[in-house]
A and B are shown apart, each in its own frame.
Chain A
Amino acid sequence: QITLKESGPTLVKPTQTLTLTCTFSGFSLSTSGAGVGWIRQPPGKAVEWLAVIYWNDNKRYSPSLKSRLTITKDTSKNQVVLTMTNMDPVDTATYFCAHRRGATDNGGNFDPWGQGTLVTVSS
Chain B
Amino acid sequence: QSVLTQPPSVSGAPGQRVTISCTGSYSNIGTNYDVHWYQHLPGTAPKLLIYGNNRPSGVPDRFSGSKSGTSSSLAITGLQAEDEADYYCQCYDISLSGYVFGTGTKVTVL
A contact residues vs B (CB 8 Å cutoff): 37, 39, 46-49, 52, 60-64, 96, 101, 106-116
- Chain B residues whose C-beta falls within 8 Å of the C-beta of A48 in the assembled complex: 1-2, 101
The A-B contact count (CB < 8 A) is 68
A46 touches B2 (CB 8 A): yes
Cα(A37)–Cα(B98), bound, Å: 11
Cα(A116)–Cα(B45), bound, Å: 7
Number of interface residues of B (CB under 8 A): 26
User: Which of B33, B46, B51, B103 is close to A113, meaning CB atoms less than 8 Å apart?
Assistant: B46
- Chain B residues whose C-beta falls within 8 Å of the C-beta of A37 in the assembled complex: 99
A60 touches B45 (CB 8 A): no
B100 CB within 8 Å of chain A? yes
Cα(A51)–Cα(B110), bound, Å: 37
- Chain B residues whose C-beta falls within 8 Å of the C-beta of A107 in the assembled complex: 33-34, 92
Q: Which residue of chain B has its CB nearest to the CB of A60?
A: B98
Most buried by A among B47, B56, B100, B101: B101
